[in-house]
Amino acid sequence: MKKIVISAAFGLICLFSASRLAFAHAMLVSSTPAINGIVHGPGVAVDLKFNSRVDGKRSRLILVLPNGATQALAVTAQPAPEELTARAELEPGAYTLRWQAVAADGHISRGEVPFKVQ
């Protein structure tokens, strides 16, 4: 019984002490398009730079279109370990680029970049 109580207490300590959301790991340092920036279409180059190495093969870029629909962007070969790049053909309008980066240590972080295409 005593062992069970000790094990349960240890488990609880672990459980309750770990409640911070794994939200901020690979952090966006700079982006093209910039946050709330305006770019010229139709060909738009996407370039996100992070504070740490990110796994390009396993990271995702999703575009929220002006009508609310979503479109996955193909991540191109990484020019540097901390960069994610893609290319899209876009009509004028307000877009949001949602990124999900997998850091080299396996942590997942997410964020978004709202921008407009003229």
Partner 1 sequence: MIWLTQDFDLLSVLLRALTLSLEALTVGGVLFLLVIATPAMAEAGAREASSRFAGWAALGLAIAQILSAAESAAMLMGGSGLSFHEVVTADFFIADITIVVAALLLFLLTRLRRGSSRFVNPLLAMVIVAGSVALSHGASRLDHRFLLLAFTTAHHLGSAAWIGAMPFLLVTMRRSQETDRLHALVQRFSTMAMISVAVLVLAGVGMACFYIGSWAGLYGTSYGLLVLAKVYLLFLILALGGSNYFLLKRTRGEAKPLLMRLRRFSEAEIGLGFTAILIGASLTSQSPAADMPQDRLTTHEIVHRLGWKQPSLTTPAFAQLSRRVSLKAELESESFTGGSPNDAMDQAWSEYNHHWAGVIVLTAGVFAFCARFGSRRWARNWPLLFIGLAVFILLRADPEAWPLGPRSFWGSFAEAEVLEHRVFALLITAFAVFEWAVETGRLQSRRAAMVFPALCAIGGAFLLTHSHALGNAKEETLTEMSHGPIALFGITAGWSRWVELRLPERDDSRIRRVLSWIWPVCLVLVGIVLLNYRES
Nearer to partner 1, 43 or 80 (CB): 80
Contact with partner 1 (CB under 8 A): which of 16, 69, 74, 118? 16
Give yes or no for residue 108 binding partner 1 (CB under 8 A).
yes
Contact with partner 1 (CB under 8 A): which of 25, 33, 86, 115? 25
97: helix, coil or strand?
Answer: strand
Give yes or no for residue 30 binding partner 1 (CB under 8 A).
no
Rounded Cα distance between 99 and 2, Å, is: 48
Burial 93-118 (b: 16+ CB within 10 A, else e): eebebbbebbbeeeebbebebebbbe
Give yes or no for residue 52 binding partner 1 (CB under 8 A).
yes
104: helix, coil or strand?
Answer: coil
Minimal CA–CA distance to 110: which of 118, 12, 101, 6?
101
Tell me the one-letter amino acid at 79. Answer: P
Contact with partner 1 (CB under 8 A): which of 39, 41, 60, 66? 60
Contact with partner 1 (CB under 8 A): which of 38, 43, 92, 105? 105
Give yes or no for residue 57 binding partner 1 (CB under 8 A).
yes
Give yes or no for residue 69 binding partner 1 (CB under 8 A).
no
